[in-house]
Amino acid sequence: MRTFAAVLISLLISAPLAAQKNKPEPLTESQQDQIAEAGIVPAARVGLYVKFIDDYSETIKGLATRAHTEARVRRLNGELQNFSALMDELGDNLDVYSERKADIRKALKPLTEGVERWQQTLHGLPSEPGFELSLKDALDSASDLSDQARQLTADQEAYFKAHPDEKDQDRYEPK
């Protein structure tokens, strides 16, 4: 009975650890440090995310032209998953900045241009078994981010036109 209890306890403890292990982390430690150093400066953080997503896009482009091997398919699948996760993370940050009325208009233009590049990269990938689900997720994430950036640009232009005294701020502070 004690053996059964010990096995059961060890299984219960190891299950969350296995789940944590499988969750991909799209940013390297160095990139995480750069994001942390940017702190609460929204435009700087958006710029870093654009740069890091561009890096993934270039990697994906490079993998697309390689010989069709199982290793390439696995690598593309992983890169696409990280690519999607990073775009989703950027979208979450944009939601926060939008709620705070942070002035990120200068960062939105490079973001919008970046999303167009990323979508071109994704649409240029061949449809192959092994990463089609990750490709679909990446296309959905890019489309969502494109819509969000366009809407946020329009919202920001309207808001800061109506509130010119609040431009260039990092967050909304009631007066």
| Residue 150 CB coordination number (10 Å) | 13
Predicted TM-score of the model (pTM) = 0.80
User: With the C-alpha atoms ordered 71, 74, 79, 80, is the resulting torsion angle positive or negative?
Assistant: positive
Which residue type sits at 115? V
What integer pLDDT is reported at residue 129 of this predicted model? 87
What integer pLDDT is reported at residue 25 of this predicted model? 85
In eight-state DSSP terms, residue 175 is -
Tell which residue, 158, 157, 40, has the closest CA to residue 108: 157
Q: Divide the 175 residues of the chain into consecutive groups of 10 and give the mean pLDDT of each group.
A: 52 49 77 89 94 96 90 94 96 92 92 96 89 95 97 93 77 49
What integer pLDDT is reported at residue 149 of this predicted model? 96
Distance in angstroms between the alpha carbons of the first and the last residue of the chain: 66
User: With the C-alpha atoms ordered 159, 162, 168, 170, is the resulting torsion angle positive or negative?
Assistant: negative
